Structure 1
């Protein structure tokens, strides 16, 4: 058993954040040719160079990566300079950009996907049935619980309690908004149609999995992988299902499930508080970002 403190330090960091920070440092050093440790003036020149090429959100991530690199190695943090902060503010003022968001998966498109997967579940080839069962469970759980891709990829069977025809209780050890890693217990309801609980049952029966990662890769011969499905694979998986279902996949990603549920819930008169509590958002602005809502123009609408 590993008793070194490094494993605890590693556990405190999200893998996705680590990847983004590593890419940011490589961009500063290799792409731009910056030197580390960096001075505040070099960081200002870096921001100026990419101010009209990268979004301010991306630049903030790069600054955070640079800040942590310097802090971890005991160097003064050059990103704290007022010139760095003012340069970023100036970039935001001169190059405002709308936030790019994934298309929300509407209920009609969700039904088309699940109908297609239902046909594939009756296919004589075991590998086709296996993938259909996995994809159906992933899509329905992701939609009705508004899960992020990384949350879906981290679901483990031993953390799920299944009460047939009633619902599921899932324990999420950590998530993007759970900075203290306390974990969160969420419930998934059994529904009359498009039921995530029934889809979960089908997937377990087809896969015969009893522990470990819930969603995994499946190769061409129908072998199920040992490790969890990579979170970055969720968007590709969804687009493949959309194509087979006759749905144009343009603009859709793993976040389409989360946005789709938020939009559906808003249209069905969920209050902002109820939606925030269910999904796990901390502030109203986070919820509003995911909701596509139409103004009530009534008879004035074309």
Structure 2
């Protein structure tokens, strides 16, 4: 709830809170927007208290100093723009003058952008065959999704991870959209071996217009195996798998009855012989969906297991650590984007497949491939 947060902010004098307006905003905003707003406002309020500033209403100088402070702590221009927007949103909801429109704030943000640059660090791509030019004919190499899928084990964790990874690549879903997949969203397709996935809502579709993605036969097989193993018949498809491991225990002989304590209430069963116990592992599947923040760690765990099993022979230990630092829950989306570009799909087709409203992100994800396959790249390859 926003009302308790807003009323707890450091103010010069009591602020009139329009609870109905805040409730309407909460009903219209996504849970991710609300979580980001709460986090940003709490951080700004803490900074104001530490520096003896007033959070509401904030002055242009306060906002400018805050942005410079966060930039000095390593915040990127994109993050600073979000902080600025959150402060603006707060003042708008309270009917106060927006301090972020002042020239001081705009010029401060422009100076930081000029100094640091606006390029954002891109998640490492998980491409189906790795860094190849011809996605159809070239053999897989390097870090590639095919090897990761093949290396997933036959235990419940491996079966879930294979289905999760395969579906993530097929659809290019974001982490929050991936964990929201429900069994009822999987629909029949014209191809009897394939399926369709209904996407009721996404980041680019806050109003719930809906979209549909294709699920390959490879993903359908992985899904069917996982669902059969897990016993899931409805609700979230991807859930946490709890693992409990028991150590082996050798046979323990019983105690001599003559040595037993004669105290009243002594548990004589402790003196009985105990049979040997073999090591075993038990699995159980949770009832709720995975958290979006778990997707990146799951990808990294799959990669580590694949490397340790020898499924990624092209990678050295240093290569592995380099990749793991850049892998995120977004990596399958970036990988699909790049494979579509490498296969010759045009920008409109890529935007449609990944449900983008703007060409900015697909162009950014394909910047390196575009340079390699562009006019200059093609010429240099001919010249040798």
- Do Structure 1 and Structure 2 share a fold, with TM-score over 0.5? yes
Quick one: distance in 2 between partners of 1:196 and 1:160?
Answer: 11
Deviation of residue 9 (structure 1)?
5.3
Alignment match, 2:238: 215
1:1-27 superposed Cα distances (whole Å, 9 cap, x missing partner): xxx999885453333332222221122
Structure 1 range deviating more: 177-186 or 97-106: 177-186
Quick one: distance in 1 between partners of 2:306 and 2:182?
Answer: 28
Q: Following superposition of structure 1 onto structure 2, how do residues 112-123 of structure 1 map, counting pairs within 5 Å?
A: 112-117=147-152, 120-121=153-154
Quick one: distance in 1 between partners of 2:214 and 2:166?
Answer: 14
Alignment match, 2:200: 173
Q: State the TM-score, normalized to the length of structure 2.
A: 0.69
Structure 1 range deviating more: 246-255 or 60-69: 246-255
Alignment match, 1:124: none
Distance of aligned partners of 1:250 and 1:93 in 2 relative to their CA distance in 1, 3 Å threshold: closer
Quick one: distance in 2 between partners of 1:227 and 1:22?
Answer: 25
2:63 is aligned with 1:43: yes
Quick one: distance in 2 between partners of 1:229 and 1:81?
Answer: 42
Q: State the TM-score, normalized to the length of structure 1.
A: 0.86
Could you tell me whether the CA contact under 8 Å between 1:272 and 1:284 is conserved in 2? yes
Question: How many residues are paired up?
Answer: 285
Alignment match, 1:79: 100
Could you tell me whether the CA contact under 8 Å between 1:162 and 1:168 is conserved in 2? yes
Quick one: distance in 1 between partners of 2:186 and 2:21?
Answer: 29
Alignment match, 2:10: none
Q: 43, 55, 59: which is aligned to 2:80?
A: 59
Quick one: distance in 2 between partners of 1:300 and 1:31?
Answer: 57
Alignment match, 1:289: 364
Structure 1 range deviating more: 227-236 or 178-187: 178-187
Quick one: distance in 1 between partners of 2:89 and 2:82?
Answer: 11
Alignment match, 2:297: 236
Give 5+ residue unaligned stretches, structure 2: 1-19, 130-139, 245-282, 313-319
Q: 272, 277, 294: which is aligned to 2:347?
A: 272
Which has more radius of gyration? 2
Q: Secondary structure at the match of 1:174?
A: coil
Q: 177, 180, 200: which is aligned to 1:151?
A: 177
Could you tell me whether the CA contact under 8 Å between 1:157 and 1:210 is conserved in 2? yes
Alignment match, 2:278: none
2:199 is aligned with 1:199: no
Q: Following superposition of structure 1 onto structure 2, how do residues 94-109 of structure 1 map, counting pairs within 5 Å?
A: 94-106=115-127, 107=129, 108=140, 109=144
Quick one: distance in 2 between partners of 1:70 and 1:135?
Answer: 44
Alignment match, 2:37: 21
Deviation of residue 230 (structure 1)?
0.5
Could you tell me whether the CA contact under 8 Å between 2:184 and 2:235 is conserved in 1? yes
Give 5+ residue unaligned stretches, structure 1: 122-128
